[in-house]
A and B are shown apart, each in its own frame.
Chain A
Amino acid sequence: MSTVRELFLSSVKNFSDKTAVVEDNKRVSYRELGSMVGSFSSFLTAKGINKGDTVAILLPNSIEFVVAFFSIASLGAISVPINTAFKKEEIAFYVNHSSAKLVLTEVKLKSLAEDAVSDTNTSVAVVKGENAEWNITKADSNPPEVSIEPDDEAIYLYSTGSTGKPKRVSRTHLNLVALADNHTGTVGWTENDKILFAVPVSHTYGFGNFISSIKIGASIIVLGDFNRNRVLDLLEEESITVFPAVPVMLDMLAKTFLPEPKDLSSLKLVISAGAPLSERIFHSFYEKYGIYPRQLYGSSETGVISINLSDDIESTFNSVGRHVNNVEVRIVDENGNKVGVDEVGEIAVKSPSMTRGYFGLPEETKKVFRGGYYFTGDLGRIDRDGFIYIVGRKKFFINISGNKVDPSEVENILLKHPKVKEAVVLGVNDSDGIERVKAVLIADKGTGKKEILEFCRDQIAEYKIPRIIEFRDKLPRSPTGKVLKEELK
């Protein structure tokens, strides 16, 4: 098995009567999912999509997202999942940068998608919601036979940098199949697992777990938005066995008032990734639900790197675990040499699921992809049992619940406000150790926090909007004029 199409068809064949996807009151078996993908592929062909074309998916977690992704891959075309929280300019960037020919979306995002592509030749197709252009009963099913090679590109994910714009990461069919093999082989999922997706499958973390779930023939239960009470109801009603989450979700669930206890006895794996899991959240989630969250580590460039499946989770809770199957992890010093046990250095990863580099950025690619390894920019150590601990990062970005924020992108938006003269954006930890976006501004007298927030809200996704805004008369600078960000924390 070396292409996404083969991965998908194998599950359709082997698990045909099993439930593949559940969304609200809709349940789709693998057989039905196979028919839907055939029908959707015909729909895409009729829209002019051929092998090598790029198709943006602006959809929440949904049956349509699953169908769209596998249909695009079956045609040898390339998916570009876009976060539905993004605003017009952000969507326009991803569409233009990936040269997407078509944007697939839902009714409520139609006008936003159309606005975002208004200056381009890209078209928009509504495939979810009332009066959608595609649905299983309307479309014919006559997809073309396309030859797909393992090294053909299957998906473009984007990695946040510190240059103001995200970097395009291409992953091939073989990369994605390897990702699913490595992950499922390590965690030991089976077709009897039921996996709840409240994290977006458009994001690398959700996506890795999603494709792994389909590969193994598990049932996936999708939620369009994170809704605490809905998550808790589903965990119980659907007898969920695996729940991938981010620390903020776990924190919210641990604090959620329960009028009656929940029976979560089916739940055997709660995954925490995207941001460090604090000791407080680790314990409070366990105290409430009787199961410890386990950390997973991955990146858009490599897919899943490691997961903590330790038998002694209480004493290793802050580890992201051992590397998954077929992935090599080493800690290196400034010169790229491997360091000893428990010594801190940069985490470098070699994986059959990793990208070859960043599109159009040869210098940046050369810098972080060396000798077959990807240099993550994360600082860490590996103990004598092979457990990886992340202790910091070299790259300068802010991590908001797993969503990486490039400070210069937010600074550029703030500087567009007519009253803002200077802007510095940085990450600060609150009392719970959760990172927040902080903006320090030099602005006209009388400028208020509210107008700044509203200005940002129109232009960037909510998670990038500064939580803390401070007005100052001047910024602390070094003798060379560099802003001293540490003094602004």
Chain B
Amino acid sequence: MDIEKRVKKVLMKNALKDIDPKELNIDSPLIEYGVGLDSVATLELVVALEEEFQIRIDESEITPETFESIKSISSHISQRI
């Protein structure tokens, strides 16, 4: 599975449980769905991404730009694996 699909899977399982997967494409602004507005929820998403990709993501890497969309998260992760 490519990175974007895996990121989407993590998002749907953690931060966006009540959203229809068809509604979300790789460029959808995640802030519209509340992602990034709540630091605990964001941290939960980060640990889920760490688990999925087996990488260490530091709190300092959690920026609005990184978490803008599935595409931006995937791009950040692809530089780390």
Q: Interface size of B by Cβ–Cβ distance < 8 Å?
A: 22
Smallest CB gap from B15: residue in A: A467
Is B37's CB under 8 angstroms from A255's CB? no
Smallest CB gap from B48: residue in A: A255
Is B59's CB under 8 angstroms from A228's CB? yes
A462 at the interface (CB under 8 A from B): yes
Bound-state CA distance A465–B41 (Å) is: 11
8 Å CB contact of B47 from A256, A465, A468: A256
Is B48's CB under 8 angstroms from A229's CB? no
8 Å CB contact of B18 from A256, A463, A468: A468
Bound-state CA distance A468–B15 (Å) is: 11
Smallest CB gap from A85: residue in B: B39
Is A256's CB under 8 angstroms from B50's CB? yes
B32 at the interface (CB under 8 A from A): yes
Which of under 10, 10 to 19, 20 to 34, or 35 or more describes the interface residues of A?
Answer: 20 to 34
Is A465's CB under 8 angstroms from B59's CB? no
8 Å CB contact of A450 from B18, B31, B43, B47: B31
Residues from chain A with Cβ under 8 Å of B39 in the complex = 462
Is A252's CB under 8 angstroms from B34's CB? no
A336 at the interface (CB under 8 A from B): no
A-contact 0/1 string along B44-81, CB 8 Å cutoff: 10011011001111110000000000000000000000
Bound-state CA distance A284–B44 (Å) is: 15
Q: A228-B59, A448-B32, A449-B34 are in contact. Are A401 and B51 (CB under 8 A)?
A: no
Is A467's CB under 8 angstroms from B32's CB? no
Per DSSP, chain B at the interface is: helix
B20 at the interface (CB under 8 A from A): no
Smallest CB gap from A450: residue in B: B32
CB distance from A289 to the nearest CB of B (A): 15
Residues from chain B with Cβ under 8 Å of A453 in the complex = 34, 37
B-contact 0/1 string along A458-489, CB 8 Å cutoff: 00001101011100000000000000000000
CB distance from A256 to the nearest CB of B (A): 6
Q: A257-B51, A448-B32, A468-B18 are in contact. Are A248 and B59 (CB under 8 A)?
A: no
A334 at the interface (CB under 8 A from B): no
CB distance from A413 to the nearest CB of B (A): 15
A88 at the interface (CB under 8 A from B): no
Bound-state CA distance A96–B41 (Å) is: 32
**A interface residue numbers (CB < 8 A to B):** 225, 227-230, 248, 252, 255-259, 401, 448-450, 453-454, 457, 462-463, 465, 467-469
The 10 lowest CB-CB distance pairs between A and B, nearest first, are A257-B50, A255-B47, A227-B59, A453-B37, A450-B32, A257-B56, A453-B34, A229-B58, A252-B47, A259-B56
